[in-house]
Amino acid sequence: MSAKPLVEGQPARIRGRTAVALAVVVSFWGLILVDEMVVNISLAQIAEGLQLTQTELGWVVNAYLLPFGGLLLLGGRLGDILGKRRVFIAGTALYTVGCLARAVSPDAWALITARAVQGTGAALATPCVLALILNTFGEGPLRRRAIGVYTIAGGTGAAVGLLVAGALGSVGSWQAQMLLAGVIGLALLVATPAVVEETPRQSGRLDVPGGLLSSLGLVALVYALANSTGDGWRSGPVIACFVGGLVLIGLFVLVTRRTAEPLLDLGLFGDRTRVGAYLVLLLMPGTQIGIFFFLSQYLQMFLGYSAMSVALAFLVVSVGMVGAAGQAARLEPRLGARAVVVVGALMLLAANAWLVRMGPGDGFWTAVLPSLLLVGAGLAFTIIPATIRATSGVEDEGSGSASSVVNAVQNVGSSLSLAIIVAVAATAGAAAAASPPSDLPPEALDGFVFGESMTAGFATGAVFAAAAALAALLIRSRRAAGVVVEPSPEPAESHTTR
């Protein structure tokens, strides 16, 4: 990527090189999301191959989630101090080593260690992806399109991961499935130095106390949320981690306010618009997690879909995102981010509400397809403008830290929303099992219980979407903030950044 921010009207050669650099760094963001879906689907094969206990299998997941969630703020700050390309490459290298090591792991703890290395690498590299975009594209149409590409890569990761897992699972062992991400990581390591330019280093030192407090606090919160499903909230360790995480984050804020060169600029939270954007990004996972979680089971249990057919069905979300991303980026400067985000949140509300009315036996084309299209368009209309507003007005020197906050709120939001949706669905399922309709045949009980759980999950997703629409009201329009934006022409040759 070019050292000077790219804006409209620069030579096509520079724009073309920058488009390639964008593709390389965004590919890493897509890779980690695709790979996590592959890992989740491969867990049963891994457990059988290595004879893992349920506790060990749980740590295969947590060993990645904990360093990834806990070290994001540290990764962003390191990028600001040492150079974002340098930290991105270091993180990608660690991630790749972890991917390759897990494919040849002989036992549980070797696999768990490899996953921890992988999570650490992801935490270092991920904030640098968005930060490199911010440093490379000046505020304006090109940055909005670049953030659109970043959003599409993230939003379609689950569906692509399902396809990859289905294809690999039918032709190869779990080791082959684990190896793929490592091979792609090696390719990114070769390509990055050739096409991505380094950002200037910033003077300063690392806030070690703040780094320790934020990392330990986020690790504790992510662990508590990840293990809170079912009866997890009744577990002493889960409660202790949740409370301890909140205390550590509180201490981190106190230390940061008294530190000359803090890990995180708390001034980021002094802007109402940015806080509103953070809240939207925190709530967004809750609008879609239930849809993917329950629909994947519904399509297989009631409509007889194979895993590969489910993956193909979920590609509809990608189609909706790609179709709406350009419109979202163009409407944001004209209507204001608040209006676009509210429209997107209402789309997600409608998608979940549409599925609430669905019952066993309803078909894909009339019951599921409209909702998936709305989900794709709604995600594009919410995440793209929210990310733009969350990162607008940030100096290049602090773009790593600002990007890490975006990643951190999305990561915590995913864990929090999953815990809430699973808890609500489990409660609804237990109530349905305790008092089923008197005329329900015994063989239909399982389907009835699942249907009630699914409906509760979709209703909870609708609540998350409504909350996101309310959070969007905190976002000021650009005109209200005193900034008048002239719609920029979009020459055909500028589409190289799509």
For the segment 349-402, what is each residue's pLDDT rounded down to a tens digit?
999 999 998 877 788 998 899 999 999 999 999 999 999 999 988 877 778 888
- Asked if pLDDT for residue 22 goes beyond 60, the answer is yes
131-155 burial: b if 16+ Cβ within 10 Å, else e = bbbbbbbebebbbbbbbbbbbbbbb
Could you tell me which residue, 97 or 267, shows the higher pLDDT?
A: 97
Count Cβ atoms below 10 Å from residue 482 Cβ, excluding itself. 7
pTM of the full structure: 0.86
Range of weakest confidence among 75-89, 163-177, 412-426, 428-442: 163-177
List the one residue out of 71, 181, 182 whose CA is nearest residue 123: 71
7: Cβ contacts below 8 Å, ≥ 6 apart: 137, 138, 140, 142
Please say whether the beta carbons of 249 and 218 come within 8 A. Answer: yes
pLDDT range class, residue 478, cuts 50, 70, 90: low
Confidence of residue 479 (pLDDT cuts 50, 70, 90): very low
**Would you state the pLDDT for residue 171?**
66
The DSSP secondary structure of 407-443, one letter per residue, reads: HHHHHHHHHHHHHHHHHHHHHHHHHHHHS--TT--GG
Give the N- to C-terminal CA distance of the chain in Å, as an integer: 15
Q: What is the 8-class DSSP label of residue 206?
A: -
Instruction: Out of 164-173, 302-311, 408-417, pick the least confident.
Output: 164-173
pLDDT of 140: 81
What pLDDT, on a 0 to 100 scale, did the predictor assign at position 137? Answer: 84
Cα separation, 490 vs 498, in Å, equals: 12
Write down the pLDDT at residue 232: 64
482: amino acid identity, one letter: G
Q: Is pLDDT above 90 for 443?
A: no
User: What local confidence, expressed as pLDDT, does residue 157 receive?
Assistant: 76
Of 142-156, 163-177, 273-287, where does mean pLDDT reach its minimum?
A: 163-177
Instruction: Supply the pLDDT for residue 433.
Output: 92
pLDDT at 488: 39
Mean pLDDT of the region 330-346:
93
Which residue from 180, 192, 50, 70 is spatially nearest to 119, judged by alpha carbons? 70
* pLDDT for residue 7: 45
Q: Is the pLDDT of residue 15 over 70?
A: no
Contact 143, 133 (CB under 8 A): yes
Determine phi and psi for 475, rounding to 5 degrees. -75, 120
d(CA 188, CA 121): 13
The angle formed by the CA atoms of residues 288, 294 and 297, to the nearest 5 degrees, is 140
Q: What is the pLDDT of residue 446?
A: 87
Lowest-confidence region among 89-93, 200-204, 367-371, 477-481: 477-481
- Asked if pLDDT for residue 498 goes beyond 50, the answer is no
- Determine the pLDDT at residue 234: 75
